[in-house]
């Protein structure tokens, strides 16, 4: 089992930020910006949108800083808020259509290139239903176990495992592998 | 092809565009200004006796004690409003979804 | 899993003030048995104060600010238990229902053996909703929400997921 271990933030950045130290809050942003941005980017496969979401999340953190109890809590809070925001935006907006035909064509031409495989994978992930997308992103970007993921997405652990299993089956099918 | 390894590679963390932290801090500063303007908003009309009290309250504001207290009270009230509406909306949305699910069968 | 749902129309409102009813939603017997309790009590003054501190920058908070500006109160009690069977769902629904006057109409009833059971009643003045009571029951959690004042149910449901304030912990303290 993977524990949710706080990453090494400068000892005291959180309490300093909570006391109103803006430099300390900037340190917190710099420490976690890649994680937050990447969660949103891997969800929507869109850098511009990912930055908007990431900015919103940190602004929300700024307004709720008093509620954060520890570095571990901060990490959990950022992951959960970002994930929830992404899921909510997916449900409220039209999904961008990604052509399966295009992805298939890409596969036949660029089969052995890692860079293109990465792009194809991200495009396929973007087509997954929102919860599956969230679970896959948290599992492979953040290296979290289902027991940790279930707290972030607020679902039972078996439901999370089931979503992960279905997502991977779907991805294998799209890649043309045997499930 | 190992899907696990491919996914870990494809999903590795990436940095946002340069200057991200600065852009966030600018928005935080703008949010502070907006909140300060809201707190100092219009007050209702009060009877004369209240003005004397307001004078001493003003003194407390200058000293900073009352402002801090009111700020904290307001922030707590805000958190409570958000928590209450969050719980209410979650339950109503769930019920609506159940209705839609049944309707689609 | 069986699911039985009755539904009535969800109604939109015009924000016109009307005398609305608040109900008693404290259950001391539940509080004694609960592991954690969420208690939110916001009268009109606290709602105005809280609304002043809601962000105009944040879409979700702006929507909340707009919704609460005409409300007279929001009251929430949520009881979380460590195991099943700690409360009598039907009995509690009856206790809530018995307080509702003639102007209250049932809107939705969701019954499930394995998922959440939800009852929603609306206090109606013509076609306007001037109050809402929500009772939600899961095996380990019982929640009652009373909203006093004009409320748009569709807009309330649309808020879901916008907050991002995770339910990390629940406190047993009254603010």
User: One digit per residue, pLDDT tens: chain A, 179 residues?
Assistant: 444 444 555 568 999 999 889 999 999 999 999 999 999 999 998 899 999 999 999 999 998 898 888 899 999 999 999 999 998 887 765 444 433 333 333 333 333 346 678 888 898 898 898 899 999 999 999 999 999 999 999 888 888 999 999 999 999 888 886 44
Domains held by chain C: number: 1
Cα C29–C35–C40 angle (5° rounding)? 75
Domain range enclosing C22: 3-10+18-42+73-153
Q: What is the DSSP letter of C138?
A: E
Mean pLDDT of B90-102: 79
Model ipTM? 0.80
Q: What is the pTM of this model?
A: 0.49
In a domain, C84, yes or no: yes
Q: Is B14 helix (H, G, I), strand (E, B) or coil?
A: coil
| pLDDT for the residue numbered C32 | 82
In a domain, C123, yes or no: yes
- Rounded distance, CA B1 to CA A157, Å? 28
Can you give the residue ranges of every domain in chain A? 10-96, 97-179
Q: Hey, are the CB atoms on A55 and B20 less than 8 Å from each other?
A: yes
For the domain A10-96, what is the CATH code?
A: 1.10.1740.10
In a domain, C63, yes or no: no
Q: Which residues of B touch C (CB under 8 A)?
A: 27, 30-31, 34-35, 38-39, 41, 73-96, 98-99, 102-103
In a domain, C62, yes or no: no
> Closest to B81 (Cβ–Cβ): which among C42, C110, C160?
C42
Q: Of how many residues is chain C composed?
A: 175
Domain range enclosing B105: 72-105
CB A142 within 8 A of CB A133: no
- Rounded distance, CA A68 to CA A77, Å? 8
Report the CATH fold assignment for A97-179.
Arc Repressor Mutant, subunit A (1.10.10)
Q: Is A69 helix (H, G, I), strand (E, B) or coil?
A: coil
Q: Hey, are the CB atoms on C164 and A57 less than 8 Å from each other?
A: yes
Query: Please, which residues bridge with residue A41 across strands?
Result: none
- Rounded distance, CA A51 to CA C117, Å? 39
Query: Please, which residues bridge with residue C136 across strands?
Result: C118, C143
In a domain, B66, yes or no: no
CA distances from residue A18 to B84, B98, C111, C163, C175 in whole angstroms, order as listed? 24, 41, 44, 21, 21
pLDDT, tens digit, 9 for 90 and up, residues A139-175: 999 999 999 999 999 888 888 999 999 999 999 888 8
Domains held by chain B: number: 1
């Amino acid at each position: 089992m993977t524990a949710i271990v706080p990453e090494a933030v400068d000892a005291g950045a959180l309490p300093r930020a909570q006391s109103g130290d803006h430099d300390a809050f900037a340190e917190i942003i710099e420490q976690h910006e890649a994680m937050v941005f990447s969660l949103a980017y891997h969800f929507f496969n869109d850098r511009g949108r990912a930055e908007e979401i990431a900015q919103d999340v940190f602004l929300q953190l700024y307004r709720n800083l008093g509620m954060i109890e520890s570095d571990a809590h901060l990490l959990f809070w950022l992951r959960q808020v970002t994930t929830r925001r992404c899921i909510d935006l997916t449900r409220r907006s039209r999904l961008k259509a990604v052509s399966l035909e295009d992805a298939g064509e890409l596969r036949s031409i660029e089969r052995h290139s890692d860079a293109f495989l990465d792009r194809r994978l991200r495009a396929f992930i973007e087509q997954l239903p929102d919860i599956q997308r969230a679970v896959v992103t948290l599992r492979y970007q953040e290296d979290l176990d289902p027991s940790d993921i279930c707290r972030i997405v607020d679902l039972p652990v078996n439901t999370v495992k089931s979503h992960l299993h279905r997502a991977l089956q779907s991805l294998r099918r799209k890649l043309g592998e045997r499930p | 092809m190992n899907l696990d390894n491919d996914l870990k590679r494809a999903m590795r963390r990436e940095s946002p565009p340069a200057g991200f932290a600065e852009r966030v801090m600018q928005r935080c500063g703008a949010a502070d200004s907006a909140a300060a303007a809201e707190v100092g908003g219009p007050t209702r009309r009060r009877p004369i006796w209240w003005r004397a009290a307001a004078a001493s309250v003003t003194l407390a504001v200058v000293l900073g004690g009352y402002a801090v207290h009111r700020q904290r009270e307001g922030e707590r009230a805000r958190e409570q409003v958000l928590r209450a509406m969050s719980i209410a909306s979650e339950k109503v949305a769930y019920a609506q979804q159940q209705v839609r699910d049944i309707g689609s069968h | 899993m069986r699911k039985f749902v009755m539904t009535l129309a969800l109604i939109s409102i015009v924000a016109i003030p009307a005398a609305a009813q608040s109900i008693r939603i404290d259950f001391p017997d539940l509080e004694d048995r609960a592991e954690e309790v969420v208690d939110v009590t916001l009268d009109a003054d606290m709602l105005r104060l809280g609304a002043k501190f809601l962000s105009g920058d944040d879409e979700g908070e702006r929507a909340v600010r707009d919704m609460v500006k005409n409300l007279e109160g929001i009251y929430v009690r949520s009881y979380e238990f460590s195991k099943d069977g700690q409360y009598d769902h039907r009995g509690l629904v009856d206790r809530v229902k018995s307080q509702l006057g003639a102007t209250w109409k049932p809107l939705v009833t969701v019954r499930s053996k394995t998922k959440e059971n939800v009852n929603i009643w609306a206090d109606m003045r013509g076609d306007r909703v001037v109050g809402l009571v929500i009772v939600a029951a899961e095996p380990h959690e019982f929640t009652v929400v009373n909203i006093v004042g004009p409320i748009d149910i569709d807009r309330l449901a649309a808020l879901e997921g916008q907050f991002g304030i995770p339910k990390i912990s629940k406190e047993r303290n009254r603010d």
